[in-house]
Chain A
Amino acid sequence: MKTKKVYVYRSFERFWHWLQAILIMFLSFTGFEIHGNYTFFGFEEAVRYHSIAAYMFLILIIFAIFWHFSTGEWKQYIPTKDNMVAQMKYYISGIFKHAPHPTRKTVLSKLNPMQRLVYFGLKIMIIPLSVISGLLYIFYRYPQSYEIKIISVESLKVIAVVHTIAAFLLVAFLVVHLYLITTGETITSNLKAMITGYEELEIDEDEEVQIKEQAS
Chain B
Amino acid sequence: MRKIIGAIGVIVLVIVVAVGTLTTRTMKPTKIDLLKEEYSEKHQPAVDHSLFPQLNKEFASAKEVTAECITCHNKRHDEVMMSNHWNWEREEYIEGRGIVSIGKKNAMNNFCIGTQGNEKSCAKCHVGYRMDKKGFSFTDPNNIDCLICHDNTETYAKAPNAGGDALPTLDLNTIAKHVGTPKRTNCGVCHFYGGGGDNVKHGDLSSDMFYPSRDIDVHMNVDGMDMECVTCHKTENHVISGKMYSLSSMNHNRVFCSDCHTDTPHEQQILNEHTVKVSCQTCHIPTYAKGKSTKMAWDWSEAGKLKDGKPYHEEDSLGNHTYLSIKGSFKWDQNVTPEYQWFNGTARHYLEGDVIADTTKPLIMNELLGSYADSESKIIPVKVHRSIQPIDPINRILIQPKLYSDSIGVGAFWKDFNWKTAATEGMKDAGLPFSGEIAFTKTEMNWPVNHMVAPAEEAVSCNECHVRENGRLASLNDFYLPGRDYSKILENIGFATIFLSLIGVAIHATIRFISNKH
Contact = CB atoms under 8 A, between A and B. Distances in A.
| Dominant SS among interface residues on chain A | helix
A154 B373 contact: yes
A175 B497 CA distance: 10
A171 B505 CA distance: 14
B497 A172 contact: yes
A44 B461 contact: yes
B494 A155 contact: no
A212 interface: no
Interface string A128-157: 000000000000011111000000001111
Contacts of B501: 172, 175-176
Interface string B487-501: 100100111011001
A179 interface: yes
Nearest to B270: A47
A47 B274 CA distance: 14
A43 interface: yes
Given A43-B467, A47-B462, A176-B504, A36 B484 contact: yes
Contact of A168 (B376, B484, B497): B497
Contact of B486 (A35, A97, A179): A35
A157 B483 contact: no
Contacts of B375: 142-145
A142 B485 CA distance: 18
A164 B511 CA distance: 33
B486 A96 contact: no
By CB atoms of chain A within 10 A, which of B277, B494, B495 has the most? B494
A44 B462 contact: yes
Interface residues of A, number: 35
Contact of A95 (B276, B373, B468, B512): B512
B482 A175 contact: no
B508 interface: yes
Contacts of A182: 509
Interface string B268-288: 001000001100000000000
Contact of A179 (B376, B463, B479, B509): B509
Nearest to B479: A155
Contact of B376 (A44, A145, A156, A175): A145
A180 to B, nearest CB: 8
B480 A156 contact: yes
A24 interface: no
A179 B276 CA distance: 46
Given A156-B480, A175-B501, 12 more contacts: A34-B482, A35-B482, A36-B467, A43-B463, A91-B508, A155-B480, A157-B485, A160-B480, A161-B490, A172-B498, A179-B505, A179-B508
Q: Which 8 A-B pairs have the closest CB atoms?
A: A168-B494, A157-B480, A96-B515, A179-B505, A43-B463, A44-B462, A36-B468, A175-B501
5 contacts: A39-B463, A98-B515, A142-B277, A161-B490, A176-B501
Interface of B: 270, 276-277, 373, 375-376, 461-463, 466-468, 479-480, 482-487, 490, 493-495, 497-498, 501-502, 504-505, 508-509, 511-512, 515
